[in-house]
Amino acid sequence: MRRHSGVGKTVLALTMAAALAAVSACSKDANTSSGTGSPTSVEVMSWWVGPGEADGLAAMIALFKQQNPGVEFVNATVAGGAGTNAKAQLATRLAANNPPDSYQRHAGKELAADIKAGDVEDLTYLYDQNGWKNLFPPGLIQAITDNGKIYSVPVNIHRSNLLWYLPKTLSDNGIAAPPQSWDEFLTQAAAIQAKGKTAISIGPAWTQKHLLENVLLGELGVDKYNGLWNGSTDWTSAEVVAALNKYIKILSYSDIKSAGADWQPALDRVIEGSAVYNVMGDWANAYLAGDKKLAFKDGYNVVASPGTAGVYNFLSDSFTLPVGAPHKATAEKWLALCGSKEGQDAFNPLKGSIPARKDADTSKYKDYLATALADWTNPSTKVVGSLAHGVVASDAWNSEIDTALGLFTASGDAAAFAAAVKQSYEKNK
């Protein structure tokens, strides 16, 4: 069995401990009995619809139907990258006590809020029944655990800190290699702009936050980046404000004034060659290799985003059992599939992610995905958590960061943004 030596490390454990530190006991009564509800259907809510998102889910749905003939699978997807729209719709349904049978939630602080609100069931019994406790990396289990109880089933590991490009565009523009620091990027960007091209494409607000987290990581390094989420790095310090000013400089070389409608249209500009780079998570691999049929390395390529070589900025999609799920028995079957080796090996090669389980069939992960697995399992890789995808900040803090970021990208006032984020941290911690 392949060892996940890179992920049992203290760094991930510490990140996760911080991520869940604020979680307290449930406020609703959890229904702990198993197997209630009609066995004839299951409604699963996610945001995996459209190119680069849907194929992995479709493969898991096909397996589910094969394993559960006669059970109708209600695919309640809500379009919109990073779940911006899905999360809003889910919040309405949860508030109305009308949950789906299972919904997608990122491991970390995003799930912690649901645990605190009593919205999700304790799934420890599924881990016991399926022998899962030792099959997932301990740091990941910690990110979905509160008070010794485990609350979701992780299906994958995604990486956030990636810079995508086409080798042909680089050579067409006389660029020898992608930048290894944001300063190097800015030098390249000035030359790219002089040629009338966009140095970095961008999409809607969440993609701007995705870029921001990786600029902060690249500029501040792992320890200070981690400190941003636990109060030990002062947002208003000169170093953080300098990184924020650099972010604004980077954005000035982007197409933010005509930003893509979502992450795929932003990548389309890279594919067409009108933009040179895009920072995006590795769901981009599913789009470039799967939907656009580009060849890894020759057609498209990817490196760690500037300043983050050797760092894995991770996030994990997981599925829950909401309290009051109408079809609990079939939801348990869905969750069993999500946690299974077969399910993860069907889903991840098409999703652009690597399995959350430690024992997956490595032969199924080729090209970019083979490099992702190698990096994730490399003991010297440093693991940190994503802001835009729920690991390091609660939804409450994240949404205040969103508001402040909207103002910041318009005004360019780094000090005001830093002060607002710091204040919001103090309020939400």
Residues that bind ligand GAL (CB under 6 A): 47-48, 53, 81-83, 106, 158, 263, 281, 283, 315, 317, 389
Closer of 253 and 283 to ligand GAL (Cβ): 283
Closer of 287 and 408 to ligand GAL (Cβ): 287
Q: Give me the least distance between CB of 315 and ligand GAL, in Å please.
A: 5
Closer of 189 and 216 to ligand GAL (Cβ): 216
Closer of 64 and 263 to ligand GAL (Cβ): 263
Closer of 351 and 358 to ligand GAL (Cβ): 351
236, 293 contact by CB (below 8 A): no
* Bridge partner residues of 311 (DSSP): 382
Residue 32 three-state SS: coil
For 49, counting Cβ atoms within 10 Å of its Cβ (0-12 exposed, 13-18 middle, 19+ buried), the class is middle
Q: Give me the least distance between CB of 171 and ligand GAL, in Å please.
A: 29
- How many other CB atoms are there within 10 angstroms of residue 102's CB atom? 28
148, 25 contact by CB (below 8 A): no
Q: Give me the least distance between CB of 84 and ligand GAL, in Å please.
A: 9
Among 77, 126, 46, which residue's Cα sits nearest to residue 340? 126
Closer of 157 and 420 to ligand GAL (Cβ): 157
- Tell me the C-alpha distance between 26 and 30, whole Å: 8
Return the structure tokens found at 193: 């702009």
Place of tokens 């909401």: 322
- Tell me the C-alpha distance between 225 and 237, whole Å: 13
Closer of 48 and 397 to ligand GAL (Cβ): 48
Q: What is the DSSP letter of 286?
A: I
Q: What is the DSSP letter of 120?
A: B
Angle (deg, nearest 10), helices 10-20 and 109-117: 40
Closer of 340 and 398 to ligand GAL (Cβ): 398
Give the chain's largest Cα–Cα span.
65
Q: Give me the least distance between CB of 416 and ligand GAL, in Å please.
A: 27
- Tell me the C-alpha distance between 172 and 185, whole Å: 17
Q: Give me the least distance between CB of 229 and ligand GAL, in Å please.
A: 17
Q: Give me the least distance between CB of 57 and ligand GAL, in Å please.
A: 10
* Chain centroid to CA 74: 24
- Tell me the C-alpha distance between 61 and 338, whole Å: 10
Q: Give me the least distance between CB of 16 and ligand GAL, in Å please.
A: 17
- How many other CB atoms are there within 10 angstroms of residue 67's CB atom? 15
Closer of 108 and 137 to ligand GAL (Cβ): 108
- Tell me the C-alpha distance between 45 and 292, whole Å: 26
Q: Give me the least distance between CB of 220 and ligand GAL, in Å please.
A: 22
Closer of 139 and 390 to ligand GAL (Cβ): 390
Q: Give me the least distance between CB of 293 and ligand GAL, in Å please.
A: 20
For 236, counting Cβ atoms within 10 Å of its Cβ (0-12 exposed, 13-18 middle, 19+ buried), the class is middle
Q: Give me the least distance between CB of 164 and ligand GAL, in Å please.
A: 14
